[in-house]
Structure 1
Amino acid sequence: MYAILDIETTGGKFNEEGITEIAIYKYDGHTVVDQFISLINPERDIQPFVVKLTGINSNMLKNAPKFYEVAKRIIEITQDCIIVAHNSEFDYRILRTEFKRLGYDYKRQTLCTVELSKDLIPDQPSYSLGKLVRSLGIPVTDRHRANGDALATVKLFKLLQAKDTSKHIIQSSVKDAVNPKKLDSKLIDIVETLPTVTGVYYIHKEGGDIIYIGKSRNIKRRVNQHFTATNTKSKKIQLHVTAVTFEETGSELIALLKESEEIKRVKPIYNRSRKRTHFTHALYAFKDKHGYINLKIDIADGRKHPITTFSNKQSAVHFLERAVDTYKLCLQLTGLETNIPDKPCFNHNIKTCNGSCVNEEPVQDYNIRVQELLDKNSYAHKNMLILDRGRTIEERSAVYIKDGQFEGLGFFNLNYQIHNIKVLESIITKMENNRDAQHIIQSYLRSHKNLKTIELTQ
């Protein structure tokens, strides 16, 4: 029997966090047989970044039960169950901490879906819950709320069960009900010096050499995860770390670009896995014999010039499916349906394709809509700025694209208006234009549709 759960907390110092929301689904290996979902009054302040992430604020929790009022129900629903969670070490530690405050020694076996996913679904670009379930086609709602994340974990765990055909990987991954790891005082001191801001962090060993570079929207929390994780890489980092430095960026896009370039430049020993390219598939365009612009998803090829790139095939297919609906494109001319001469696509039969598959729609009309899609998702030959948040309220970050090439990035004050490229280039820090940088920018633009862009003139 499994208790699949997710917990939202107040944030704050290690082992001083409080629970703000909990969702538990009791799962017998086939179906959910019981559930418990509740907001919880943590009786302590909620960190501002947590309020922004989850939407849970103190006013929402005024009339919520306190932990001691739901403790008995949690014990009952998890009795004789293995705790399953995405990063179970965190959720289990938080539960044990809350019970310890009540004088109760709460012990359960645990199972982590992050570790299981790495074993059963290798080579995913990310194992964060949101990105992982999206890449696997698992629907998720109410992201960063306990019920939404717990339900997504239930669906993920069912998939992992099906993948475990030998029926021994899950069983061998169960951890005994032992006390969770306590942070070494050296690691606690390092974590305490770090801020809860977006940026790039550098983990140093004795002598100052950098052994790992990462990025996060919350540097303190991410480094704390490195220091509490039990995988081989994290244990080595914990053993050798003597200091952590950071650079605040404000913008996640800036952090992604800086992280990518810094890893290539420094080549830290524990970033070896990041040498693999971030993307596997790309979108290409070509004209058929009738003059229609066709779109095709294919394995990324450095010798070709893609419209945009994707971390995996599933995300590429999802992108094209949305494009077909948005721009009324033909299923056959986008490669989502086999092209059979003189036979209309499925969408033509339901009147959502204008007939380009059977040469009924004027080529020019169809190509205009395809070109709109291409222009929106490619910055080829463009001079443009991508604007995002800065490190302070008055500041903005800027990513500079010149003639379709990534030139660099910088920060400017809101009161300072950039009028032309010459002025702009004086405040931009040059960076390398490579395939990884292009992929990062294109992916970020796709997932942040309200991001401001400005086209520039010479």
Structure 2
Amino acid sequence: MYAIVDIETTGGFTANNSIIEIAVVFHDGEKITGQYEKLLDPGIPIPGFITGLTGIDSQMLEGAPTFGQIAEELFGLLEGEIFVAHNVGFDYSFVKQAFEKEGKEYKPKRLCTVRLSRKLFPGLRSYSLGRLCESRGIVVNDRHRAMGDAWATTILFGQLLETDQDGLIDQAIKGKNKALTLPPNISKEQFNEIPQSTGVYYFHDSNGKVIYVGKAINIQSRFNGHFTGKAKLNLKSEICDVSYEVTGSELLALLLEAMEIKRLWPKYNRSLKVKAMSWGIFSYSDREDYTRFQINKIATGFQPLATFTSHATAWKFLVEKNKEFNLCPKLNGIQKKNGACYDFQEGECKGACCGKETSEDYNQRATEVFAAVKMEGERFLIKDKGRNPEEEVALFFEDGFLSAYGFLDLSNSYSSSEEVVSALKPVKRVIETRYLLKAFWDKIPENNIIYLANS
């Protein structure tokens, strides 16, 4: 449905410039379904400032195909997909021109993640990809390389899809726009009192009962996003009050949202209840005894090697581990291709996909992939920012489950980590907190994690 595209070029304008690298991540609106990337021979020298920005030089492009040589393949992959990019006008203009030179007319529907971010994440000082990723907690690997930026844009686009409860993305595709209106029982004064802070919010009906729980980086902005268009009309008419708990920490907001949904079971949290099923990475052996990994929804009776709250985070994890351990992207469903995978042709895969590497050698590396994400038997504290500069959040985990949390005054001193734990508020173990921790793990600085001895 969506093709998230990023390109690197010899210059900033289509006139007299060409594409030197293209990456595409395919997304069906719920999960990532594939990816494509190529270095391309532009037929002209690479300017020094482009090499300085991207790291791509003429030597790297020796033997690379021209755009004309991949045009048929790429056109087939992009045909019928919605073209998504950060500053879509730039990427689209180059791709359109390149296809035109090959006699192909390319006029897809398009979405710009800059424009969407301005609407769905208002109030930021900058909407450049780097600044947006920083503000949204997105880790960018290989900045100013096509796949690195395409991946970052894909994660950002996933957040936009999740935030857009009111059809703004569909309206952008159709070229329509509708005005925001507050729920009839919420006054402008109530709306203005909602904090523009990270935390958890609650919608209440006329009897005070909680009918929806959500979390947000900016609670007021998220509330604002619930009520454009015709989305959730029943919810809109039933809301009579809104309350909230500011957390400061995004991780605590995620964990608290999951626990509160489990505790209160609000009637309008159906989509979030489905999330509790989560996604998992599973392994199996094929007919040649090669270990393969596959992403699927978690089902009763099947134990995944790792769990994630979205297909996108599972896919990103698998792609990164695939590269880290030199595994075959074809065996793990990342690339779909007859014969050897693209990585083997480029010397990055050892050839399990075409019989060039034995299953014994391949499986030895594959078994190491999930060794680092096991949390059984571990006890640790995670420190994070609090609600103001004078405090910090402390989260205590046992076996990967949140066991206690609290807000600590930075002016107080504690003699040991165990003393910190004793000052925290205990909570009931909820399986979703384990999923969320694993999905969030790569965002946590190492010096914010304090391991405790087993009691």
**TM range, smaller chain:** 0.5 to 0.7
| TM-score of the aligned structures, taking structure 1 as reference length | 0.54
Which of residues 404, 408, 413 is equivalent to 1:408? 404
Give the residue type in structure 2 aligned to 1:300. I
> Residue 298 and residue 263 in structure 1: after superposition, are their counterparts in 2 closer, same or farther (change >3 A)?
closer
Match of 1:7 in 2: none
Measure the CA separation in 2 of the matches of 1:349 and 1:179. Answer: 52
Q: Deviations over 1:273-313 (max 9, x none)?
A: 32223455312357899998764434423434333223454
Match of 2:31 in 1: none
Measure the CA separation in 2 of the matches of 1:335 and 1:395. Answer: 45
Q: Deviations over 1:351-387 (max 9, x none)?
A: 434577869689699747853x424433233222233
Match of 1:248 in 2: 246
Give the residue type in structure 2 aligned to 1:264. K
Q: Deviations over 1:165-223 (max 9, x none)?
A: xxxx999x786x88764775842121111111100111222332222211111111222
Match of 2:64 in 1: none
Matches within 5 A, 1:264-303: 264-285=262-283, 295-303=293-301
Can you give the 5+ residue segments of structure 2 that lack an aligned partner in the other structure? 1-86, 94-104, 116-121, 130-135, 139-147
What is the CA-CA distance between 1:346 and the residue it aligns to? 6.3
CA contact (8 A) 1:279 1:310 kept: no
What is the CA-CA distance between 1:426 and the residue it aligns to? 1.3
Worse-matched range after superposition: 256-265 or 444-453: 444-453
Aligned-partner SS, 1:441? helix
CA contact (8 A) 1:53 1:144 kept: no
2:431 maps to 1:441? no
CA contact (8 A) 1:292 1:367 kept: no
CA contact (8 A) 1:386 1:451 kept: no
Matches within 5 A, 1:354-373: 354=350, 367=364, 370-371=367-368, 373=369
Give the residue type in structure 2 aligned to 1:50. G
What root-mean-square deviation, in Å, do the aligned CA atoms of Structure 1 and Structure 2 show?
A: 5.4
Can you give the 5+ residue segments of structure 1 that lack an aligned partner in the other structure? 1-22, 40-48, 57-127, 131-136, 161-168
Instruction: Indicate the structure whose relative CO is greater, using CA pairs within 8 Å and at least 6 residues apart.
Output: 2
CA contact (8 A) 2:400 2:437 kept: no
> Residue 439 and residue 24 in structure 1: after superposition, are their counterparts in 2 closer, same or farther (change >3 A)?
closer
What is the CA-CA distance between 1:224 and the residue it aligns to? 2.5
Percent identity (aligned): 23
Which of residues 123, 128, 136 is equivalent to 1:50? 123
CA contact (8 A) 1:382 1:455 kept: yes
CA contact (8 A) 2:327 2:362 kept: no
Measure the CA separation in 1 of the matches of 2:178 and 2:128. Answer: 33
2:425 maps to 1:429? yes
Which of residues 395, 405, 408 is equivalent to 1:399? 395
2:107 maps to 1:31? yes
> Residue 398 and residue 447 in structure 1: after superposition, are their counterparts in 2 closer, same or farther (change >3 A)?
same
> Residue 370 and residue 350 in structure 1: after superposition, are their counterparts in 2 closer, same or farther (change >3 A)?
farther
| TM-score of the aligned structures, taking structure 2 as reference length | 0.55
Measure the CA separation in 1 of the matches of 2:224 and 2:268. Answer: 17
Q: How many residues align?
A: 326
Give the residue type in structure 2 aligned to 1:225. G
Measure the CA separation in 2 of the matches of 1:271 and 1:216. Answer: 15
Aligned-partner SS, 2:240? strand
Measure the CA separation in 1 of the matches of 2:197 and 2:356. Answer: 54
Match of 1:321 in 2: 319
What is the CA-CA distance between 1:324 and the residue it aligns to? 1.5
Measure the CA separation in 2 of the matches of 1:291 and 1:455. Answer: 38
Matches within 5 A, 1:128-147: 139=150
Aligned-partner SS, 1:433? coil
What is the CA-CA distance between 1:251 and the residue it aligns to? 1.0
Measure the CA separation in 1 of the matches of 2:303 and 2:111. Answer: 50
Matches within 5 A, 1:101-250: 139=150, 181=181, 186-226=186-226, 228-233=227-232, 235-250=233-248
Give the residue type in structure 1 aligned to 2:221. R
Give the residue type in structure 1 aligned to 2:432. D
2:305 maps to 1:307? yes
CA contact (8 A) 1:378 1:442 kept: no
Measure the CA separation in 2 of the matches of 1:180 and 1:395. Answer: 36
Worse-matched range after superposition: 250-259 or 355-364: 355-364
Give the residue type in structure 1 aligned to 2:239. V
Measure the CA separation in 1 of the matches of 2:124 and 2:302. Answer: 44
CA contact (8 A) 2:417 2:452 kept: yes
Give the residue type in structure 1 aligned to 2:107. T
Match of 1:11 in 2: none
Measure the CA separation in 1 of the matches of 2:216 and 2:356. Answer: 50
Aligned-partner SS, 1:276? helix
Q: Deviations over 1:298-343 (max 9, x none)?
A: 44234343332234545533432221112323447656579x9xx9
Measure the CA separation in 1 of the matches of 2:219 and 2:356. Answer: 55
Give the residue type in structure 2 aligned to 1:276. V
> Residue 266 and residue 178 in structure 1: after superposition, are their counterparts in 2 closer, same or farther (change >3 A)?
closer
Q: Deviations over 1:222-266 (max 9, x none)?
A: 22233x423352x33443333221111011111111111111211
Worse-matched range after superposition: 315-324 or 411-420: 411-420
> Residue 331 and residue 217 in structure 1: after superposition, are their counterparts in 2 closer, same or farther (change >3 A)?
closer
Give the residue type in structure 2 aligned to 1:427. A
Aligned-partner SS, 2:242? strand
Give the residue type in structure 1 aligned to 2:327. L
Aligned-partner SS, 2:269? helix
CA contact (8 A) 1:284 1:297 kept: yes
Match of 2:451 in 1: 455
> Residue 387 and residue 365 in structure 1: after superposition, are their counterparts in 2 closer, same or farther (change >3 A)?
farther
